[in-house]
Amino acid sequence: MKRNINKGVRSSPRCNGTGFGPSTNNKTRSLSKSDDTEIVPPLSSKLHPKKPSVTLLRIGGIRIYVKEQPGIVTFSDCAPTGAKRASEGIWYVIREGEGWNLFAYPFGKDSKIEDHSAFWEQIIAPWLAAKYKLTKSSAEELALHPYGFPRGRVTKVGKTFTIYHGDDWAPYSAAAKVAAKAFHLPKTANWVFDEHETRNEWDCAAIESLLPMNRLT
């Protein structure tokens, strides 16, 4: 089944705030190149366990497996088998308190989620609403703003994996390493800018008003 992973993307001004703006290098990069940028740290063991843990939850009406580990939260339709198989999928970098964590959704044979809008509306927004104990009206409002956090996707053409991103989050090379780990990608995977994955200022502003966090813009 071919997935329209850019479905519903709106054209709008980008979030270019201090510390979260675009870098100056939009060229294709290989993860095999050395990079000393520190990987985005998890907030604390209180938010995500130091050792990987898997929980079966029902989020937004979807039965989903949630694997938590430092810096990464992976959502899957299938129970983890322990096999580290490279896969396509979609991801967000989500602000949690003072830190950032990568939320990944690897595509499987029968995946129910096909694009960022569905990932946000059906899984991430309900997850964040529950975490921050939002009212029903605030939770519904949050689900309407899927383009406020940095995001991207992983695709495979032939034997080559590519991580597409919006280039609107300063430590993007760190996110590349975390995304590569979350999707079990080889070092030959490329890191490529795609304008379709950029954030917009309206969703950034809405998320800032709904969740207790520092400014995104």
The average confidence (pLDDT) of the chain is: 76
Residue 41 region, left (φ>0) first, then alpha (ψ -120 to 50), else beta? beta
Long-range contacts of 210-216 (CB under 8 A, 24+ apart): 210/134, 210/138, 210/141, 210/142, 211/95, 211/128, 211/132, 211/142, 212/132, 213/95, 213/96, 213/97, 214/95, 214/98, 215/17, 216/15, 216/17, 216/20, 216/95, 216/148, 216/149
Q: Is the pLDDT of residue 5 over 80?
A: no
* Cross-strand partners of 110: none
Instruction: Give the residue extent of every domain in the chain.
Output: 29-210
pTM for the whole structure = 0.78
Residues 146-190: tens digit of each pLDDT? 999 999 999 999 999 999 998 877 655 677 788 899 999 999 999
Residues 79-126: tens digit of each pLDDT? 776 678 899 999 999 987 677 889 999 998 878 898 999 999 999 999
Q: Cα–Cα–Cα angle for 117, 100, 6, nearest 5°?
A: 20
The two beta strands, 53-59 and 62-69, are antiparallel
